[in-house]
Amino acid sequence: MNPAIRHVYIHFPYCLHRCGYCDFATTVARVIPRERYLQHILTELEMRAASQQFAPLETVFFGGGTPSLWGPAAIAAVLDWLNRRAGFAENPEITLEANPGALESGDLAAYATAGITRVSVGIQALHDARLRALDRLHDAAAARQTLAQLGDLLATGRLRSANADLIFGVPGQTLLDLRTDVAGILDYGLSHLSAYSLTVESGTPLAAQVKRGLVARPDDDLQATMLDALPGLLAPYGLARYEVSNYARPGHPSRHNLAYWTGRYYLAVGVGAHGFLPEPGAVGLRYGNSRKHERWMAALAERQLCEDLRESIDADQHHDERLLTGLRLAAGLDLAALARDLGDDRRAALELRARPGVERGDLWCNDGHLGVVPRALGRLDSLIAELA
Amino acid sequence: MQAKHIRNFSIIAHIDHGKSTIADRILEMTGAVEPRQMQAQYLDSMDIERERGITIKSQAVRLNYRAKDGNDYVLHLIDTPGHVDFGYEVSRSLAACEGAILVVDAAQGVEAQTLANVYLALDANLTLVPVINKIDLPAARPEEVCEEIEEGIGIDTREVVLCSAKNGIGIQDILEAVVKTIPPPEGDPDAPLRAMVFDSQYDAYRGVLVQVRVIDGKIKKGDRVYFMESQCEQDVLEIRVRTPKEVIVDELNFGETGVLICGIKLVRDVQVGETITHAKRRATEKLKGFKKVQQMVYSGIFPVESNEYEKLRDAIEKLGLNDSAFSFEPETSSALGFGFRCGFLGLLHMEVFQQRLEREYDCELITTAPSVIYQVHKMDGTMMSLSNPGELPSTGDIDCIKEPIVRATIHTPSEYIGAISKLCNDRRGMQKDMRYLSANRVVLEYEMPLAEIVFDFFDKLKTATRGYASLDYEFKEFRKDDLVKLDILLHNEIVDALSVIVHRDKAYDKGKALVHRLQKVIPRQMFDVAIQAAVGARIISRETVKALRKDVTAKCYGGDISRKRKLLEKQKEGKRRMKNVGNVEVPQEAFLAVLSTDED
């Protein structure tokens, strides 16, 4: 695989509030050490970049947490550093995650000025009771306000793309509710929607509430129905599914996420960030920084990396990774790319293993791609396990 | 050593009444084991014996004891298995003794196993030394227990020894009673050799270690001996005694116990109860009491992964080397592939064997529900013994099926008689006798089908009596009844490993419960899975596992692909442990679902 790095992920862990279902690396802080965090990010970038070879960057992703709390100046500083070190390709995709409750009016424009080309905002619902059930900080009105700003920035060309995250399959939610949410969001002209079914992740407050019977467990059958219904709900707005949970207008799929899903290398820095870098003698190295905010901060203050995970990925493991991510794509897994990166034998063996699924009508295989038919997407994990 | 200063004895007790602790204290007191080398249940060398607090193999230990009368005695303590499954082994170990210490718990009193063992001891003409253990427990009631021993067992308790093995109280009194009460061995030193085999163990370096008690004559190293049951000759290569450290000796005289090493390869070739004599000067009569071991319970043992069949066979063979009561033969199941049909003395024996396979030989097993052996009388006048319900001939060929009936003895406080009667009636039991041991303790005797006992009867009995009742049983006869084969179908295919033989009156309830339970343990698949119970062609119960509709991770966890890959590996591991039966993935526990159906 080409060892040059074209994708960078920056994690900003701070949130104003931790939502009940969330199991990402987040830190709730009353006072966010924006400047100190920036210095540490730049330190980690320097340390990790030292041994890497870069191509002009195609994508940068500021994820969180709530990186819209960092301020345009910090974002600009990181982008300046990356520009000096690696430079940017033409039309880079530079994404910032934001939350409705965590934006001052005018902020988004300032971020666009700092270099952000794509904003992904955590709307989750446009319904006050459901937002409360999800333990979100904002209400529907705040969500609409943010969506209106995004619509404005898109219309005036100051942002190239915008995404809203939506959670579905919340106990009590109906198909009609889902349609109302989707329409309410896309009426603002967004180019991208990520729709995730509510998942009870172990260790979260939501999991504890479900276990104690305080909250109903999301209903699998309802979620499956909604998953099947979403493409039809989104088609009138010109959005098509390109990944299990992601929909976009033509030309607007997240290039950064696609890099993850097609096995590209990416540099990642920040608390709990996960990266994938070239490594001699292996397909690559996957590392994960500590999710513990204080530990990471203390280590970086000493110019030390702070990892929880460091794993050389061999061909077998990478084969599984490519299945896991590639089969989630509507375009399917690129078998030619798989053969190029891991050898023709693996491609042939995979095609053989896929045969029963294809015959059963769960998988399709043509044009050098292997994919899952839309109506079988809901059983994707089992299908992947069959092939792995 | 003169025979008059030898005492051969064992310790008999109900489980948990303190047999092993008393043995430990005796080893300490006689200086056989240094206190610093002492570990609890010293004589139980297997981990499983220690863990479960039971003795599985017999052991004879030679101890030196200077009694208060000033004489030096040699005591042979023969540690016997302590479970109903091993009743015959117990009887042979007891036959190697002249007496036995009868241990009764000062709080629990006389229990079913106590009695069963006492009867075995009395059958062997042993002199009993009654000992009441745990006298320092707050719940101890030694006077009442004495009364139970006198009334229930009919032995004199004027000389009863009170002790607390845990705290080392009364141990010397026990040894004094052994020396004083138990008679020395009798035998004819000049008669042709007769030695009784009471156990054997397999040793990877020395072959089979044969534990014997010399009844008449003497046996020397280098002797050529003749095994009267197996009708084969062997050379005695070495003789050892355990003190409990092994010591080589030149000979064993009548009345003594020891270990013979004859270069025998298989434990199966040395039967417990066998008589050994000299090849040249043969005894005319075998010792009495020999029985061929009889397996009571059969179960299929299969490797989780079919490519581990060879590994499993090696393990079963090796473990079988040390277990003369175990039998196995290859079995093929359409559901589970190649495996073995294994015979055991009882459920405990089966569980211990399976656990040892898993732990000591690292085998991953799927075991099918245990079955008893049935006698199937066919229309053509022939009879077949059936240990695998899947192999039952078609109904048209069967004249009748006979099942093993046991005589079950239950000891209980009288307040639970009602609960026990109900349980036994549910299990097709017929009450044969009811005797009061004392004002509030009762012995119930039932004739019951063994099949009704092997599943979970003992657990149910314990539950119904808050743990107070105890159970013992022995085979009585094969008896005809209206028995049918209950088949389970998954996705319209019969799963042979799930078939069971049941009484016709119970087929419906059993089928319904089984289907219900399977519906819970079989995970949702890509398609609807029908689970049906059938007797012959008639479906008596049906449930459906609905097809899986949603099984997809919503988020890809950002760039954390490792996490997803680990989830996949876990999922693959889960899949690997399932058996594919007619395209339906069936988890291991489904094959044991037959065991516990009635609580659902």
Q: Which domains does chain B have, with CATH numbers?
A: 3-181 (3.40.50.300), 194-278 (2.40.30.10), 297-367 (3.30.70.870), 375-481 (3.30.70.240), 484-595 (3.30.70.2570)
Region A28-49 average pLDDT:
94
Name which of A223, A286, A378 is nearest B562 (Cβ-Cβ).
A286
Name which of A266, A311, A378 is nearest B551 (Cβ-Cβ).
A378
Q: Report chain A residues touching chain B, CB-CB < 8 A.
A: 9, 24, 63, 196-199, 220-221, 223-224, 227, 243-245, 257, 260-261, 266, 268, 273-276, 286, 288, 309, 311, 317, 320-321, 324-325, 328, 360, 362, 377-382, 384-385, 388
CB B248 within 8 A of CB B254: no
Q: What is d(CA A146, CA A124) in angstroms, rounded to the nearest whole number?
A: 13
Q: What pLDDT does B515 receive? A: 93
Does B555 contact A199 at a Cβ distance shorter than 8 Å?
Answer: yes
Name which of A9, A275, A379 is nearest B526 (Cβ-Cβ).
A379
Q: What pLDDT does B54 receive? A: 52
DSSP secondary structure letter of residue B153: I
- Whether residue A31 has pLDDT greater than 90: no
Does A288 contact B562 at a Cβ distance shorter than 8 Å?
Answer: yes
Q: Chain B closest CA to A30's CA: distance in Å? A: 26
Its ipTM equals 0.85
Q: What pLDDT does A85 receive? A: 96
Q: What pLDDT does B58 receive? A: 63
What phi-psi label fits residue A213: left (phi over 0), alpha (psi between -120 and 50 degrees) or beta? left
| C-beta neighbour count of B582 within 10 angstroms | 15
Q: What pLDDT does B439 receive? A: 77
Does B558 contact A274 at a Cβ distance shorter than 8 Å?
Answer: yes
Q: Which of B499, B532, B525 shows the shortest CA–CA distance to B587?
A: B525
Q: What pLDDT does B583 receive? A: 78
Secondary structure of residue A29 in the 3-state scheme: coil
Region A292-310 average pLDDT:
95
Mean pLDDT of chain A: 93
Name which of A223, A324, A380 is nearest B565 (Cβ-Cβ).
A324
Q: What pLDDT does B66 receive? A: 92
Tell me the per-residue pLDDT of A92-112, one tens digit each, with 9 for 90 and over: 999 999 999 766 556 899 999
Q: Which token pair is B376?
A: 């199937």
Nearest residue on chain A to B556, judged by CA atoms? Answer: A325
Does A384 contact B568 at a Cβ distance shorter than 8 Å?
Answer: yes
A314-388 CATH choice from 1.10.10, 3.40.50, 3.90.1720, 2.50.20: 1.10.10
Domains A5-260 and A314-388 share a fold: no
Q: Chain A contacts of B523, Cβ < 8 Å? A: none
CB B431 within 8 A of CB B421: yes
Does B551 contact A286 at a Cβ distance shorter than 8 Å?
Answer: no
Q: Which of B209, B215, B196, B219 shows the shortest CA–CA distance to B290?
A: B196
Tell me the per-residue pLDDT of A249-259, one tens digit each, with 9 for 90 and over: 999 999 999 99
Provide the percentage of residues in chain A whose pLDDT is more than 90.
Answer: 80
What are the pLDDT tens digits along chain B (600 aa)?
688 999 999 988 877 788 888 888 888 888 777 666 666 666 665 555 555 555 556 678 899 999 999 999 999 998 776 565 676 777 788 889 999 999 999 998 887 667 767 777 877 889 999 999 999 999 999 999 998 888 877 788 888 999 998 888 999 999 999 999 999 999 999 999 999 998 888 887 888 889 999 999 999 999 999 999 989 999 999 999 988 788 999 999 999 999 999 988 877 788 888 999 999 999 999 988 787 777 888 999 999 888 899 999 999 988 887 777 888 999 998 888 899 999 988 877 888 888 889 888 888 888 888 889 999 999 999 999 998 888 899 888 999 999 999 999 888 888 899 999 999 999 999 999 999 877 777 889 999 999 988 877 887 887 888 767 777 788 899 999 999 999 999 988 899 888 999 999 999 998 998 999 899 888 888 788 999 999 988 999 999 998 887 888 877 666 788 888 888 888 887 777 777 777 788 887 788 777 664 544
Q: What is d(CA B119, CA B121) in angstroms, rounded to the nearest whole number?
A: 5
Secondary structure of residue A143 in the 3-state scheme: helix
- What are the CB-based long-range contacts (under 8 Å, 24+) for B247-251? B250/B220, B250/B221, B251/B218, B251/B219, B251/B220, B251/B221
Determine the residue among A381, A383, A386 to mutate to test chain B binding: the one whose Cβ has the most chain B Cβ atoms within 10 Å. A381
First to last CA, chain A: 21
First to last CA, chain B: 64
Paired with B241 in beta bridges are B247
Tell me the per-residue pLDDT of A196-205, one tens digit each, with 9 for 90 and over: 999 988 888 8
Q: What pLDDT does B46 receive? A: 54
Q: Chain B closest CA to A103's CA: distance in Å? A: 23
The answer for residues whose C-beta is within 8 angstroms of residue A189's C-beta and 6 or more apart is A151, A154, A155
Q: What pLDDT does B97 receive? A: 92
Query: Which of A106-115, A131-140, A206-215, B435-444 is predicted least confidently?
Result: B435-444
Domain coordinates of chain A in residue numbers?
5-260, 314-388
> CB contacts < 8 Å between A and B, how many?
97
Q: Which token pair is B220?
A: 């020397």
DSSP secondary structure letter of residue B591: G
Q: Which of B318, B72, B323, B289 shows the shortest CA–CA distance to B196?
A: B289
Backbone angles phi, psi at B265, to 5 degrees: -90, -35
Burial of B2 (0-12, 13-18, 19+ CB in 10 A): exposed
Q: What pLDDT does B305 receive? A: 84
Q: What pLDDT does A228 receive? A: 92
Higher-confidence residue of B85 and A380: namely: A380
The beta strand positions in B456-503, using DSSP E, are: 470-481, 483-490, 493-494, 500-503
Nearest residue on chain B to A277, judged by CA atoms? Answer: B559
> Domain A5-260, what fold?
TIM Barrel (3.20.20)
Q: What is d(CA A92, CA A8) in angstroms, rounded to the nearest whole number?
A: 11
Does B568 contact A311 at a Cβ distance shorter than 8 Å?
Answer: no
| C-beta neighbour count of B66 within 10 angstroms | 12
Q: Which token pair is B75?
A: 């005591």
Q: Which amino acid is at B536?
A: G
Q: A300-333 burial string, b = 16+ CB within 10 Å, else e? A: beeeebbeeeebebeeebbbbbbbbbbbbbbebb
Q: Which token pair is A14?
A: 């701070």
> Does B527 lie at the interface with A, CB-CB under 8 angstroms?
no
Q: Indicate the helix (H) or strand (E) that contains B532.
A: strand B529-535
Q: Which of B66, B84, B175 shows the shortest CA–CA distance to B129?
A: B175
Q: What is d(CA B498, CA B366) in angstroms, rounded to the nearest whole number?
A: 12
> Does B158 lie at the interface with A, CB-CB under 8 angstroms?
no
Region A281-308 average pLDDT:
95
Q: Chain A contacts of B550, Cβ < 8 Å? A: 197, 220-221, 223-224, 227, 378-379
Nearest residue on chain B to A268, judged by CA atoms? Answer: B559
